[in-house]
Structure 1
Amino acid sequence: MKIHNTLLNSEQELDISKKVKIYLCGVTVYDESHIGHARTIIIFDVLRKFLESKNVEIEFVQNFTDVDDKIINRANSENTTAEAISTKYIENYFKDFDGLNVKRATNYPKATEHIDDIIKFIEKLIEKKIAYTTKNGVYFSVSKFPEYGKLSKKKIDELQSGSRIEVDDAKNDPLDFAVWKFSSTEPVWDSPWGKGRPGWHIECSAMSIKYLGENFDIHGGGRDLIFPHHENEIAQSESCTGLPFAKIWMHVGMVTINGEKMSKSLGNIKSIKHVLENWGSNIIRLFCLSGHYSKPIDYSEELLKENVTKWRQVETSYYELIHAHGESDEKIDSIIYKTTTDFDDALNDDLNTHLALSAFFQLVKETNRLAAEEKLGSKDAQIIKKELERMMKILGLSIPEMTESEKQEINNLISNREKFRKDKQFEEADKIRDKLNDMNIELIDHKGKTVWMKKELILNDN
Structure 2
Amino acid sequence: MPISLYNSLTRRNETFAPQDPARVTMYVCGPTVYNYVHIGNARGPVVFDVLARLLRRHYAGVVYARNITDVDDKINASAQAAGVPIATIATRYAQAYREDMAGLGVAPPDLEPHATAHIGPIVAMCERLIASGHAYAAEGHVLFQVSSFPDYGKLSGRDPEELLDGARVEIAPYKKDPGDFVLWKPSTPDLPGWDSPWGRGRPGWHIECSAMCKAQLGDTIDIHAGGVDLLFPHHENEVAQSTCANDGKIFARWWLHNGMLTFDGRKMSKSLGNVLLLHELLKQYPAEALRLRLLSGHYRQPLDWSEAAISQSISTLDGWYRVLRELADVAIEAPLPVPETVEAALCDDLNTPQALAALSQLADAARAASPADRGAAKAALLGGGALLGLLQQDPETWFKGAPDGIDAVAIDALLAERQQARAARNFKRADEIRDELAAMGIAIEDSAAGPRWHVVK
State whether TM-score is above 0.5. yes
* Aligned: 1:274 with 2:271: no
Displacement of 1:49 in angstroms is: 1.6
1:14 corresponding residue in structure 2? 16
Alignment-mate amino acid for residue 10 of structure 2: L
Asked whether the 8 Å contact 1:316–1:453 carries over to 2, the reply is: no
* Aligned: 1:257 with 2:263: yes
2:81 corresponding residue in structure 1? 77
Out of 345-354 and 413-422, give the one that drifted further.
413-422
Asked whether the 8 Å contact 2:386–2:392 carries over to 1, the reply is: no
* Aligned: 1:219 with 2:224: yes
Displacement of 1:204 in angstroms is: 0.2
Displacement of 1:341 in angstroms is: 2.6
Hey, what's the Cα distance between the residues in 2 that align with 1:67 and 1:411?
Answer: 50
Alignment-mate amino acid for residue 212 of structure 1: L
TM-score (norm 2): 0.87
Displacement of 1:424 in angstroms is: 5.8
Alignment-mate amino acid for residue 352 of structure 2: T
Alignment-mate amino acid for residue 396 of structure 1: G
* Aligned: 1:67 with 2:71: yes
Distance verdict in 2 for CA 1:180–1:452, change over 3 Å: farther
TM-score (norm 1): 0.86
- Stretches of structure 1 that go unaligned for 5 or more consecutive residues are 326-335
Deviations 1:287-327 (A, max 9, x none): 100110001111111111111111110111110111469xx
Hey, what's the Cα distance between the residues in 1 that align with 2:166 and 2:424?
Answer: 81
Percent identity, aligned pairs only? 39
2:314 corresponding residue in structure 1? 308
Hey, what's the Cα distance between the residues in 1 that align with 2:339 and 2:24?
Answer: 23
Distance verdict in 2 for CA 1:390–1:65, change over 3 Å: same
2:383 corresponding residue in structure 1? 390
2:403 corresponding residue in structure 1? none
Alignment-mate amino acid for residue 318 of structure 1: L
2:349 corresponding residue in structure 1? 350
Distance verdict in 2 for CA 1:100–1:452, change over 3 Å: farther
Alignment-mate amino acid for residue 223 of structure 1: V
1:93 to 94, 97, 101: 97
1:165 corresponding residue in structure 2? 169
Q: Superposition RMSD on alpha carbons, in Å?
A: 2.9
Alignment-mate amino acid for residue 341 of structure 2: D
Alignment-mate amino acid for residue 45 of structure 1: D
Displacement of 1:53 in angstroms is: 3.6
Hey, what's the Cα distance between the residues in 1 that align with 2:52 and 2:452?
Answer: 31
Q: Helix, strand or coil: the match of 1:178?
A: strand
Deviations 1:101-131 (A, max 9, x none): 1100111111111101111111111111111
Deviations 1:155-194 (A, max 9, x none): 1233344442222121111111010011224201100111
Distance verdict in 2 for CA 1:453–1:119, change over 3 Å: farther
Q: Helix, strand or coil: the match of 1:151?
A: coil
1:233 corresponding residue in structure 2? 238
Distance verdict in 2 for CA 1:266–1:453, change over 3 Å: same
Count of aligned pairs: 434
- Stretches of structure 2 that go unaligned for 5 or more consecutive residues are 401-408
Out of 265-274 and 218-227, give the one that drifted further.
265-274
Alignment of 1:412-431 (within 5 A): none
Displacement of 1:423 in angstroms is: 7.8
Out of 116-125 and 73-82, give the one that drifted further.
73-82
Hey, what's the Cα distance between the residues in 2 that align with 1:383 and 1:432?
Answer: 40
Displacement of 1:274 in angstroms is: 1.5
* Aligned: 1:195 with 2:200: yes
Alignment of 1:320-335 (within 5 A): 320-323=326-329
* Aligned: 1:3 with 2:38: no
1:150 corresponding residue in structure 2? 154
Q: Helix, strand or coil: the match of 1:316?
A: helix
